[in-house]
Structure 1
Amino acid sequence: MSNIAAQRIQREFNEVIKSDEAQKFSIKLEMDGSDFRHINGEIAGPPDTPYESGNFKLEIKIPDTYPFNPPKVKFLTKIWHPNVSSVTGAICLDILKDQWAAAMTLRVVLLSLQALLAAAEPDDPQDAVVANQYKENRALFTSTARYWTTVHAGGKQLNPDFDKKIHTLLDLGVEKHQALVALSACDWNLDRALEQIFS
């Protein structure tokens, strides 16, 4: 990595750490050791969304060609969102692809991801199953996203009905995350989830 890129990342890193905005919107950056190419990020779920009260960890990899090419970012915290893969954490966001500009910063990336949590783009999905649920049954999508936030990101809203269905599958020897994914993808229909897992 060039000196210029390393200096710029250090400057951007400090910009996030010292900004009032970081406190206000609960965005964070941490170094992963002393390598500027590997940075850990964290964003808080925005208020009045299913992600509220959750904290979502991000992996940020800075290419040697930064800032002329965007950082590679993925969610490490599992999340139920049309623009994030529920399996890999890969993100579909234009500024991380073809709409990146060299003037953009890591602060802009974190705030844009937080904004994405508040305003999904289901017509440009990363996860088609989640996007379909978002478009066809928004109430169920909201309940599911809120439940994933509770399970994976420290959210506080419980759902006894979903818990009961998860435990039914656990009692059958299904691994917890597999049970969560199957039930979420099958609109919490236990019979369909069982069919999907055991077919």
Structure 2
Amino acid sequence: MVDFVRVQKELVQCNKDNSVSGVSLNLHEDEDLKHLCGTITGPVGTPYEGGLFHIDIRLPESYPFGPPKMQFKTKVWHPNISSQNGAICLDILKENWSPALNLKTTMLSLQALLSTPVPDDPLDGVVARQYLNEHQTFVATARYWTETFAKKNSSGTEEKVQKLVEMGFPECLVWTALEAVGGDENLALEKLCSG
């Protein structure tokens, strides 16, 4: 059974210094403590700098003894993150999970993964080959994806998000909906209304 008291404490702890750490956690729209939305800022000095990356987090019944299931909702070009579905290859999300870890340390580990890819243990082989063999192209592609999908000011997205949030939709869902429909505000609204 999920330790809900611990999860609530972790939410408060993570958001206490989010302007410094660059990571935050919120409840998903269904307000179920087993389903969270996280964000991490792209690390300075990387092609992800300036980006805000949204992560879907689902806690198993065994949490904190079992690892959370995390998936990038923002498209990201990285050897250890699927460019197709946002799946993540990180040892602490699998066999190296420990109940001593928490959601904040896991989010910080994802942020560190953006700084230090592990191309020898890739999830996305195409990206890993590009990282190893055509590094300048990799950096340019990762930077382009960050500009296109993870920057708030990309093509008026900030204003679209604000409008939809004012309609009562949670910000993390608004970002996900806009990304899924290529930034089209009307299609995003349809998607949000249809559940």
2:27 to 27, 31, 34: 31
Deviation at 1:25, TM superposition (A): 2.5
Tell me how far apart the structure 2 counterparts of residues 37 and 153 of structure 1 sit (CA, whole Å): 25
Tell whether the 8 Å contact from 1:75 to 1:90 is kept in structure 2 after alignment. yes
Q: 1:62 aligns with which of 59, 63, 82?
A: 59
SS in 1 for 2:20: helix
Cα RMSD between the aligned structures? Answer: 1.8
Aligned counterparts of 1:48 and 1:103: Cα–Cα separation in 2: 30
Please list, as runs of the form range in 1=range in 2, the aligned pairs for 1:106-117 lying within 5 A after superposition.
Answer: 106-117=103-114
Q: How does 1:1-199 map to 2 (within 5 A)?
A: 1-2=1-2, 5-18=3-16, 20=17, 22-32=18-28, 33-154=30-151
Q: Say if 1:129 and 1:155 are closer, same or farther in 2 by CA, change over 3 A.
A: farther
The alpha-carbon deviation at position 17 of structure 1 amounts to 1.3
Shift of 1:156: 7.5
For each residue in 1:16-61, what CA deviation from the matched residue of structure 2 results, as whole angstroms up to 9, or x when unmatched? 111x3x2212111110132011000000000000000000000000
The number of equivalent residue pairs is: 155
Q: 1:156 to 1:51 in 2, by over 3 A?
A: farther
* Structure 1 match to 2:158: none
**Structure of greater relative contact order (alpha carbons < 8 Å, 6+ residues apart):** 2
Q: Which amino acid aligns with 1:125?
A: P
TM-superposition CA deviations, 1:90-136 (whole Å, max 9, x none): 00000001000011000001100000000000001010000000000
Amino acid at match of 2:87: A
- Give the partner amino acid of 2:15: I
Gaps of 5+ in 1: 158-176, 178-199
Distance 1:13 1:76 in 2: 19
Q: What is the identity percentage for the equivalent residue pairs of Structure 1 and Structure 2?
A: 47
Counterpart-to-counterpart distance in 2, 1:150 and 1:16: 26
- Structure of higher CA gyration radius: 1
Aligned partner of residue 23 in structure 1, secondary structure: helix
What TM-score does the superposition give when structure 1 sets the normalisation length?
0.75
| TM-score, length basis structure 2 | 0.76
Residue of structure 2 equivalent to 1:172: none
Query: Which residue identity lines up with residue 133 of structure 1 in the other structure?
Result: Q
Q: Amino acid of the residue matched to residue 153 of structure 1?
A: A
